[in-house]
Amino acid sequence: MGLIRRCGQSRQSAASPVVAEPRVIMESRRRDHLLTAAEQVFLDRGYVSSTMDDIAHAAGMSKKTIYQVFSSKKDLFDALMMDRLSELKMPANDTDQSASAVLKDLLFRLGQMVLAPKHIAMARLIVAEVASSPEVADVLKARCTQGETTMQRWLADQTTRGIFVLPDVVEGANMLFAMALGDFHWHLLLGMGPRPSDEALHRRIDWAVGVFMREFGARAA
């Protein structure tokens, strides 16, 4: 009976070989797992009080394994910031929607991202520790001064296409965020109320985009 069972297992193994994942996929998953574990540790303990040992324990990995992916806690925090800030994708240029409709959709997705509980918690962490941690300050300064946001890239592209007459893309993006999402974001950071409903978010975004289009739309100009 044991021989039959062993033979059956051999035939099953031969029919269904186990295919190893490509190394790139395995490393990508390991990196994502580490970022998720680090995010939770930072939120629970704060950046300054967190150690690489804490992150290794949360990830179920050795500290040596973490250092194979990230050279330091600061490097890991920077990667986490970059990963979370890159979640919003650029709209496709070949869409049949009007610029106004695309802008409303982009702002709504941005709102869903920055008003989500984990993003609010991370923003609170940064505000709480940026003054006392040079590492957090360095990462924040680098992320805020290097590279464009998704909104800035889209507005720059549309300005080049002649859809907008926008003298300053950065100011335009900041203005849009402030009008559409600014006070919602500020109230959540301060714990002054619940997250706005989708209906309230759409209503505010519609108003903000209308103001922006009237001021900077090519037809208005």
Give the model confidence (pLDDT) of 155-185 as tens digits. Answer: 999 999 999 999 999 999 999 999 999 999 9
Domain boundaries, the chain: 19-72, 87-216
Name which residue leads in pLDDT, 23 or 68: 68
- Indicate the class that CATH gives domain 19-72: mainly alpha
Least confident of 21-30, 41-50, 208-217: 21-30
pLDDT at position 142: 79
CATH number assigned to the domain with residue range 87-216, chosen from the 4 options 1.10.540.10, 1.25.40.10, 1.10.357.10, 1.10.274.10: 1.10.357.10
pLDDT at position 160: 93
pLDDT higher than threshold 90 for residue 94 = no
Which of 76-90, 151-165, 193-207 ranks highest by mean pLDDT?
Answer: 193-207
DSSP string of the chain?
-HHHHHHHHHHHHHHSPPPPPPHHHHHHHHHHHHHHHHHHHHHHH-TTT--HHHHHHHHTS-HHHHHHH-SSHHHHHHHHHHHHHT-SPPPPTT--S-HHHHHHHHHHHHHHHHTSHHHHHHHHHHHHHTTT-HHHHHHHHHHHHSS--HHHHHHHHHHHTTSB--S-HHHHHHHHHIIIIIHHHHHHHTT-SPPPPHHHHHHHHHHHHHHHHHHHBTTT-
Q: Give per-residue pLDDT as tens, 119-151.
A: 999 999 999 999 889 999 998 887 766 556 888
